[in-house]
């Protein structure tokens, strides 16, 4: 295991940061690293917004219900899946926008944005910085779109809070390899047998230093999927011009 992999395997989401702002140079380095990832057909379908306006940042923090570590960190970025740039290119060329609006194009943009985000994370963590993805901003996508003045064919996917960690949690044990790595065909029994992982996660959740609880991965998943989550996402995507077909 080399030092890059070692750093990746030490990843934890950081939720307690120093308030010292990142320098412009550090931020630009992180964004360049984000841009270095692969991109489906090289469409580069994302935009990052560096949220420096404290009123906007505070409202994003409240929407996300993660106020402390969104408001107080070295920087807060929004990751926007973005096909608006491509729409303007097509419009300038006098072409129709139908193929921008499809489910496939939306997937392309979401995948590109996510690859950029994780490249940003790998770079940040290699510099000793900590990060936390903030999907909580999707609690109110309509308001986020207003706050950021987002055009059609864009989707605010998640925020990223980044900075110097003050405290770090323990590394969370991932699924055993046998549950996530198959060979050739999908072995239903192998992939879904949670016996070992439920034991591992029971021990992890009951003994961790903060928020110790008596639960397992399976119990957490039952709880997580108990209610419909963010039921307005489909309507928001339609409002942004996507046809979901």
Ligand X SMILES: Cc1cc2nc3c(=O)[nH]c(=O)nc-3n(C[C@H](O)[C@H](O)[C@H](O)COP(=O)(O)O)c2cc1C
Q: What residues line the site for ligand X (CB under 6 A)? A: 11-13, 15, 64, 66, 132-136, 158, 169, 172
Residue ranges in 13-126 assigned as alpha helix (H): 24-35, 54-64, 67-71, 84-92, 103-126
Write down the number of H helices and E strands in the chain: 12, 4
- Residue 20 and residue 42: Cα distance in Å, rounded? 35
Query: Smallest gap, in angstroms, from Cβ of residue 8 to ligand X?
Result: 11
| Distance separating the N- and C-terminal Cα atoms of the chain | 43
212 or 243, CB closer to ligand X?
212
- Name the DSSP class of 158: E
Q: Kindly state the tokens that stand for 117.
A: 């985000």
- Name the DSSP class of 211: S
Tokens 């395997």 map to which residue? 9
Which residue has its beta carbon closest to ligand X?
A: 135
Query: Smallest gap, in angstroms, from Cβ of residue 95 to ligand X?
Result: 33
87 or 157, CB closer to ligand X?
157
Query: Smallest gap, in angstroms, from Cβ of residue 125 to ligand X?
Result: 11
8 A C-beta contact, residue 162 and residue 22: yes
12 or 166, CB closer to ligand X?
12
8 A C-beta contact, residue 201 and residue 171: no
**Backbone φ/ψ region at 42: left (φ over 0), alpha (ψ -120 to 50), beta:** left
37 or 87, CB closer to ligand X?
37
Residues constituting the chain: 245
- Residue 103 and residue 150: Cα distance in Å, rounded? 19
32 or 172, CB closer to ligand X?
172
33 or 132, CB closer to ligand X?
132
Query: Smallest gap, in angstroms, from Cβ of residue 23 to ligand X?
Result: 25
- Residue 139 and residue 75: Cα distance in Å, rounded? 21
Query: Smallest gap, in angstroms, from Cβ of residue 77 to ligand X?
Result: 13
Query: Smallest gap, in angstroms, from Cβ of residue 122 to ligand X?
Result: 13
Tokens 């917004």 map to which residue? 49
Query: Smallest gap, in angstroms, from Cβ of residue 230 to ligand X?
Result: 12
136 or 163, CB closer to ligand X?
136
């Amino acid at each position: 295991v080399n030092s890059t992999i070692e750093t990746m395997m030490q990843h934890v989401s950081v939720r307690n940061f120093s308030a010292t702002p990142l320098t412009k140079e550090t931020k630009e380095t992180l964004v360049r690293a984000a841009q270095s990832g692969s991109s489906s057909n090289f469409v580069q379908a994302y935009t990052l917004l560096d949220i420096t306006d404290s009123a906007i940042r505070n409202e994003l923090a409240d929407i996300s219900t993660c106020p402390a570590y969104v408001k107080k960190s070295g920087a807060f970025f929004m990751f926007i899946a973005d096909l608006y740039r491509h729409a303007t290119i097509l419009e300038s060329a006098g072409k129709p926008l139908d193929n921008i609006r499809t489910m496939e194009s939306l997937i392309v943009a979401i995948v590109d944005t996510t690859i950029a985000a994780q490249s940003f994370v790998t770079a940040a963590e290699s510099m000793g910085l900590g990060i936390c993805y903030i999907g909580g901003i999707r609690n109110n996508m309509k308001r986020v779109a207003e706050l950021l003045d987002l055009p059609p064919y864009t989707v605010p996917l998640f925020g990223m809070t980044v900075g110097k960690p003050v405290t770090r949690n323990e590394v969370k044990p991932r699924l055993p390899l046998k549950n996530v790595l198959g060979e050739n065909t999908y072995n239903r029994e192998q992939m879904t047998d949670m016996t070992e992982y439920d034991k591992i996660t029971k021990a992890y959740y009951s003994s961790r230093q903060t928020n110790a609880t008596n639960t397992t991965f399976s119990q957490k998943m039952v709880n997580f999927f108990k209610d419909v989550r963010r039921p307005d996402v489909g309507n928001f995507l339609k409002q942004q011009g996507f046809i979901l077909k």
